[in-house]
Structure 1
Amino acid sequence: MNRRRCAAVATTLVCALAVLASPDPLNRAYAAPVPTPAASPSAVAPPPVELPPGTTESDIAGSGIAGSGAGSGEQSLEKVRLEIARLYRKAASATDAYNLADEQVKKQASEVADLAGDIVRGRQRIDALRAQAGAAARAQYMGAGLPPEARLLLAGDPQLFLDGVGRIKQGQKATSDLILELTREQEDLKTYAADSHTHWERLKETRDRKEKAEKEIKKQISAAKKLEKSLVKKDRERLAALDRAAAARAQTAWLGTESFQLQGVGLGASEQGAKAIGFATAQIGKPYVWGGAGPNSFDCSGLTSQAWLAAGRPIPRTSQEQWRLLPKVAVADMRPGDLIIYFADASHVAMYVGDGRMVHAPRPGRNITMAGAGSMQILGVVRPDA
C-alpha cells in the first residue's frame, strides 16, 4: 500500500513539473515576453475559438491560416490576428497604388485636355491663314491675272514704279511668311495630335491600374472582414485585446531602444510642423476610408498630406512617395511634425506628435487616433520642412 501511495505521489510531481516547464503558447508568438498571469484552468488549457452558427472551420482555413478552428485556443486566435493584419497591409499597399494612379489620372487627363485645346486652336489658326491665302489669290485674279510687277512696269510712271517696288517686296515677304506660318501650324497640329494619342493611351493604362488597385483593395478588405465576422463576439473581443497587447509590447520595446533614448530633450516642432499637428489631431475620431483625403474621412497618407498642405507645405499624396521623395532623418533626430513610415513596403504613414506618440488613420473600420509611435514596424522618418 505504501509503495502504491509513493508511486502516485511521484507521478503527480512529474506531471506538475511538466506543466510548469512548458512555455506559454501566447508568449511564443512574440519576441518580447509579457508577465505571465497567475495559473488558472484557462491559462493551462485556453478555451477554443468559437465559431458562429453556420460557420465552418473551412471558412477560416480558406484564408490561409493553418490549424485555425475549434480546439486551437489563443494560438489559433493569434494566427487569425496576424492574418487579418496581413490582409489589411495588402489593402494598404493597394490603396497607395490606387492613390498614385488617381493623382496620375488627374494630371494626365489635364494634359490631354490641354492638347485637345491646342489642336482646336491650331485648326482655327490654319483656317485663318488659309483665308488670308485665299484673299491674296482673289486679289491676283482681280488684277487680270497679271502679277503686281508686270502692272508696275506697264504703268508708265517712274515714281509710281519706285514707290511700288517697296510694296512688292513687302507683299512678297508677307506671302512667304504666310506660307511659312501655315506650314508650321500644320506641323504643330500633327505633333499635338500625336502627343494627344500618346497621352490618351497612357491615361487609359493608368485608369486600368487604378481600377485594378481598387479591385485589390476591396478583395483584401472583404477577406479581412469575412475572417473577423467568422468569429463570435467573445472571440472578436479577445482578438482586439491581442491587438492591443501586441501594440503595447512593441511600443514598450521601442521606448527602450537607443534611437528613442537619444532623441533630443525638448526638441520641438517647427512653426509649420505645429500647424500640421494641429490639423491632424483635429481629425481624431473621423473614419478611415481608403482614398480619403478629407474633409470627412481620410486614409493614412490622405491625413498626413492634407495636414502638411494646411500648414502651407504641399507633399506627395501617398506614403510610398512621401518616403521616396521627402528628406529622411534618423529616428533619433525625430521631432514633432515629422512623418513616420511603417513596414518594409512603406504602406503606412503617421505623424509624430512627441513623447513617443503619433496620430494616424489606422485601417478600414477604425477611426483616426493617437497611438504609440513604436507600436508598428518603423521603416524610417521623413521631414517635410527639412
Structure 2
Amino acid sequence: MNRRRCAAAAITVVCAVTLLAVPGTAFAATAAPAAPTAPTAPAAPAAPEPGTPAEKSLEAIRLELEGLYAKAASATDAYNLAEEQTKKQSAEIVKLAQEIVRGQDRIADLKARAGATARAQYRGGGLPPEAQLMLTDDPQLFLDGIGRFRQGQKATHDLMGELAQTQDDLETYTKEASAQWTKLEANRVKQEKAKKEINQQIAAAEKIEAQLEKKERERLLKLEQEAAYRAQASWLGSGILKSAKGRASGKGRQAIAFATAQIGKPYEWGAEGPGSYDCSGLTSQAWAAAGRTIPRTSQEQWRLLPRVDVKDMRPGDLIIYHADASHVGMYLGDGAIVHAPRPGRDVTITGAGSMVILGVVRPDK
C-alpha cells in the first residue's frame, strides 16, 4: 500500500513539473567596518534649515518620499531573494522528477527480469532449482548444477536487493520533491506579498510627486542633492578615506567598467539588465561580467561576501547601505560610487557617504 502511495505521489510530482514556469555565492566576517559620521538614514536624514514655508513643505515631502522608497527597497530585496529561491527550487524539482522517472523505469525493468526468472522456474516443472538438482542421478551434472545454482541464487538475491533499493530511492525522491514543492509555493507567496508591498510604496510616492508642479519637482530634486552633498561632505570630513588607497583588482576593473557603462539607464525594481537595473541587479551583473558570481540581493551580498573595513576598501568593492542592508553601490575610488538609486532615477555616480554605510564587502577576496 505504501508503494502504491509512493508511486501515485511520484506521478503527481512528474505531472506538476510540466506546469512549472521557471523564472528568467559564505565567508567569515573581518573587522567590523567603521560607521559613517553623518546621520543620514533614509528614515530621518539631517534636515536643512529651509527659509520659507514652501521649502519646509517640500522638505517634509522629501523625507516622506525617502521613507516610502526605503520601504520599497526593502521589499524589493525580499522579492529578489524569494525569486532566486524559487528558481533553485524549481530546478531541484525538475531534477528530482527526472530521478523519479528513471527510478520508475528501473523498477519496471527489474520486475520484468524477476518475472523472467519466475517463468523459467515454472518451465522447470515448478520445482525450485535445489529440488531439481536432488533428483538427478548424474554426479557431473549435479556438480555443474550446484555452480549454476549458486550463481543464480546470487543473481536473484542481487536482483531483489536492487529492486528494494530502487523502491526506497524512489520513495525518498518523492518525499524530497514534495518538500521542495512546499517551499516553492511558500516562496511564491512571499514574492506576491513583497510585490504588493513594492507597488503600494512606489504608487504612494508617485502620487505625491505627481501632485507637485514642475518647479516644485525641480526644487525637490535640488533638496535631495543638497542633502546628499551635506552627508558626503561630513563623511569625507571625518578623514575616513585617508588610508583607503587600495587599487582595484583585474576583476574589479572589469566590474567597474560594466557598471559605469550602465550609467543613464533607468532604475527598475527586480531588473537585472540589460535595459534597466535595481541596485543589486547592477552590482551582481557587473561582477558576473567580471567572471565572479555573487548573490543577487544586497542583503545576501552583505551576509555571504567577505567583509572589509571601510578604511581598507578599494575600487570594485561593494558598499552596503542602511541598517537592513537594503541598498548597495559599487565603490569607484575617490569617495564615489556608481549605483541604481530608486524608482524614477537612473544609474548614476554619487558620493559614497551620501547614505548611511552599513559596511563593505569584497567579491574577489
Q: Which amino acid is the alignment partner of residue 275 of structure 1?
A: Q
Q: Which amino acid is the alignment partner of residue 348 of structure 2?
A: T
Residues 220 and 31 (structure 1 numbering): CA distance in 2 closer, same or farther, change over 3 Å? Answer: closer
Q: Secondary structure at the match of 2:231?
A: helix
Residue 367 (structure 1) aligned with residue 346 (structure 2): yes
Aligned to 1:323: 302
More divergent stretch after superposition (254-263 vs 117-126): 254-263
More divergent stretch after superposition (252-261 vs 348-357): 252-261
Aligned to 1:181: 162
Provide the rounded CA distance (Å) in 1 between the counterparts of 2:48 and 2:191: 42
Structure 1 residues 151-177: Cα deviation after superposition (integer angstroms, max 9, x where no partner) = 333332111111111000011111111
Residue 250 (structure 1) aligned with residue 231 (structure 2): yes
Aligned to 2:268: 289
Q: Secondary structure at the match of 2:295?
A: coil
- For 1:141-290, list aligned pairs within 5 A: 141-264=122-245, 267-290=246-269
Q: Which amino acid is the alignment partner of residue 165 of structure 1?
A: I
Relative to the length of structure 1, the TM-score reads 0.80
Preserved contact between residue 330 and residue 337 of structure 2 (Cα < 8 Å): yes
Preserved contact between residue 32 and residue 253 of structure 1 (Cα < 8 Å): no
Aligned to 2:83: 102
Provide the rounded CA distance (Å) in 2 between the counterparts of 1:299 and 1:30: 22
- For 1:17-166, list aligned pairs within 5 A: 31=46, 43=51, 46=52, 72-166=53-147
Residues 111 and 159 (structure 1 numbering): CA distance in 2 closer, same or farther, change over 3 Å? Answer: same
Q: For 1:343, which of 315, 322, 325 is the aligned residue?
A: 322
Q: Which amino acid is the alignment partner of residue 167 of structure 1?
A: R
Aligned to 1:4: none
Q: Report how many residues are paired.
A: 322
Preserved contact between residue 337 and residue 352 of structure 2 (Cα < 8 Å): yes
Preserved contact between residue 48 and residue 227 of structure 2 (Cα < 8 Å): no
Identity of aligned residues (%): 64
When Rg is computed on C-alpha atoms for both structures, the one with the higher figure is 1
Cα distance, 1:33 vs structure 2: 6.5
Provide the rounded CA distance (Å) in 2 between the counterparts of 1:149 and 1:248: 94
Relative to the length of structure 2, the TM-score reads 0.85
Provide the rounded CA distance (Å) in 2 between the counterparts of 1:33 and 1:193: 62
User: Which blocks of at least 5 consecutive residues in structure 1 are unaligned?
Assistant: 1-28, 37-42, 47-71
Q: Secondary structure at the match of 1:371?
A: strand
Structure 1 residues 234-276: Cα deviation after superposition (integer angstroms, max 9, x where no partner) = 2111111111111111111111112123323xx3211111111
Provide the rounded CA distance (Å) in 1 between the counterparts of 2:290 and 2:127: 73
Preserved contact between residue 46 and residue 227 of structure 2 (Cα < 8 Å): no
User: Which blocks of at least 5 consecutive residues in structure 2 are unaligned?
Assistant: 1-43
Q: Secondary structure at the match of 2:65?
A: helix
